């Protein structure tokens, strides 16, 4: 079997296509024949060696996989079942999905929802699943379209694009936030954004509270931008935090939380319980299925092309999702 495998070198790490045996894969009781994977920012960090993602090496890259069960020691799955795995520390501590086969514990596997093809599940991948999880956390905490506009930061990233699409389809007024507002504003509006602004438009210079303009937010940036957003959310609004591209520190006060009842919701999709996963995938294949999935997923490549795409992602030159056809 072929796999894109991350190994140690004298100059750090490298990721190269290599031949290996199924018996060399990480432990698990379900073997999946991979059909598709996808490329996320986390994958780009791991494959280019610019981020410390793979905590043990050698290790196969890829945090997502969709395929067909080859064999299973667990009664919940049978050969021929179409299944999906996202997260669960693939490409971190266990072999990931950029390989012809994946071996993984059954607890990490969910059956593909009927409303999606295998390709579509990876067009969504971790990015779409994370957006779906963020919307679920917010709506479970009483977020409603009539409450007012919802911000989506990192809007040209995978999570951001899907968040815009899902929220807009559900009737929310979405304000996209991006440093690429001039170049990508029209595209983001085709996904459902009613307005596109830059992060500078949200800067309130460190004030603990600003005008309560927004009903909520899905934030992929963190840092000062998240602090500014929290301070401008209406009473009982929700802010779903899904990333830290702007840094891990959060310089805010308790005032938005105790004076306005704002909820800061942490989104950790890697270990999302499978009961939640089934609900979220069910929504993503039904009433939350992105209306612009084919527009967001702009290309399908083979294993040999993964390095080049990851370099573009790290350089900020890649807009849209990339699916990897493992069988190509």
| pLDDT (0 to 100) of residue 268 | 97
Which residue is associated with the tokens 């983001």?
188
Checking if the pLDDT of 316 tops 90, the result is no
Helices 158-169 and 181-191: angle between axes, nearest 10 degrees? 40
**Residue 318: which pLDDT band, with cuts at 50, 70 and 90?**
confident
Contact 71, 31 (CB under 8 A): yes
- Distance separating alpha carbons of residues 16 and 94, to the nearest angstrom: 17
Q: What is the pLDDT of residues 89-128, one digit of tens each?
A: 999 999 999 999 999 999 999 999 999 999 999 999 999 9
| For residue 319, pLDDT beyond 90 | no
The pLDDT value given to residue 10 = 85
pLDDT tens for residues 13-59? Answer: 999 999 999 999 999 999 999 999 999 999 999 999 999 899 999 99
Q: How confident is the model at residue 11 (pLDDT cuts 50, 70, 90)?
A: confident
CA distances from 212 to 140, 177, 234 (A): 21, 17, 4
Q: State yes or no: pLDDT of 258 exceeds 90.
A: yes
DSSP 237-283: EEEEE---TT-S-----SHHHHHS--EEEE---TT--HHHHHHHHHH
In angstroms, the CA 320 to CA 53 distance is 22
Q: What are the start-end ranges of the E strands in the chain?
A: 2-9, 12-19, 30-39, 59-60, 64-72, 82-86, 101-104, 110-111, 150-153, 174-177, 195-197, 214-219, 233-241, 263-266, 297-301, 321-325
Domain extent listing, the chain? 2-115+289-325, 127-266
Tens digit of each residue's pLDDT (9 = 90 or more) over 168-225: 999 999 999 999 999 999 999 999 999 999 999 999 998 999 999 999 999 999 999 9
Q: For the chain, state the CA radius of gyration.
A: 20
> With contact defined as beta carbons under 8 Å apart, do 211 and 234 qualify?
no
Assign domain 127-266 to its CATH architecture. 3-Layer(aba) Sandwich (3.40)
Give how far the C-alpha of residue 250 lies from the chain's centroid of Cα atoms, to the nearest Å: 21
| Among the listed residues 60, 2, 50, 6, the one whose alpha carbon sits nearest the alpha carbon of residue 28 | 60
Q: Looking at residue 305, what is its pLDDT? A: 97
Q: How far apart are alpha carbons 192 and 189 in whole angstroms?
A: 5
Q: Is 199 helix (H, G, I), strand (E, B) or coil?
A: helix
Q: Which of 42, 57, 61 is nearest to 9 (CA)?
A: 57
pTM higher than 0.95, yes or no? yes
Instruction: Decide if 120 contacts 166 (C-beta within 8 A).
Output: no
- State the architecture of 2-115+289-325 in CATH terms: Alpha-Beta Complex (3.90)
**pLDDT score, position 246:** 92
Give 281-315 pLDDT, tens digit per residue: 999 999 999 999 999 999 999 999 999 999 999 99
Whether residue 12 has pLDDT greater than 90: no
First to last CA, the chain: 13
| Main-chain phi, psi angles of 108, to 5 degrees | -95, -5
* pLDDT, position 289: 96
Tens of pLDDT along 227-249?
A: 999 999 999 999 999 999 999 99
Q: Given CA atoms 281, 166, 246, 205 in this order, what sign does their dihedral have?
A: negative
Cross-strand pairs, 6: 15, 59
């Amino acid at each position: 079997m072929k796999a894109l495998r991350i190994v140690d070198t004298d100059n750090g790490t490298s990721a190269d296509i290599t031949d290996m045996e199924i018996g060399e894969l990480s432990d698990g009781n379900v073997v999946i024949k991979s059909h598709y994977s996808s490329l996320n920012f986390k994958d780009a960090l791991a494959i280019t060696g610019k981020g410390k993602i793979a905590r043990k090496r050698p290790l196969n890259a890829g945090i997502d996989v969709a395929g067909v069960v080859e064999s299973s020691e667990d009664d919940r799955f049978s050969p021929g079942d179409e299944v999906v795995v996202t997260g669960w520390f693939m490409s971190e501590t266990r072999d990931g999905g950029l390989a012809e086969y994946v071996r993984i514990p059954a607890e990490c596997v969910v059956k593909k929802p009927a409303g999606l093809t295998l390709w579509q599940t990876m067009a969504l991948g971790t990015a779409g699943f994370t957006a779906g999880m963020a919307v679920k956390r917010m709506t479970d905490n009483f977020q409603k379209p009539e409450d007012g506009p919802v911000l989506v930061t990192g809007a040209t990233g995978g999570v951001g694009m899907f968040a815009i699409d899902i929220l807009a389809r559900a009737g929310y007024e979405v304000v996209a936030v991006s440093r690429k507002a001039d170049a990508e504003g029209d595209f983001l509006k085709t996904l459902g954004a009613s307005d596109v602004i830059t992060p500078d438009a949200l800067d309130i210079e460190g004030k603990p509270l600003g005008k309560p303009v927004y009903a909520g937010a899905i934030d992929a940036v963190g840092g000062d931008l998240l602090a500014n957003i929290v301070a401008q959310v209406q009473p009982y609004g929700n802010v779903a935090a899904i990333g830290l591209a702007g840094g891990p520190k959060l310089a805010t006060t308790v005032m938005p939380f105790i004076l306005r009842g704002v909820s800061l919701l942490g989104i950790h999709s890697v270990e999302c319980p499978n009961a939640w996963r089934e609900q979220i995938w069910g929504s993503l294949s039904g009433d939350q299925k992105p209306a612009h999935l084919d527009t967001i997923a702009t290309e399908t490549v083979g294993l040999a092309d993964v390095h080049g795409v990851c370099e573009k992602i790290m350089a900020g030159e890649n807009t849209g999702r990339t699916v990897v056809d493992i069988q190509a």
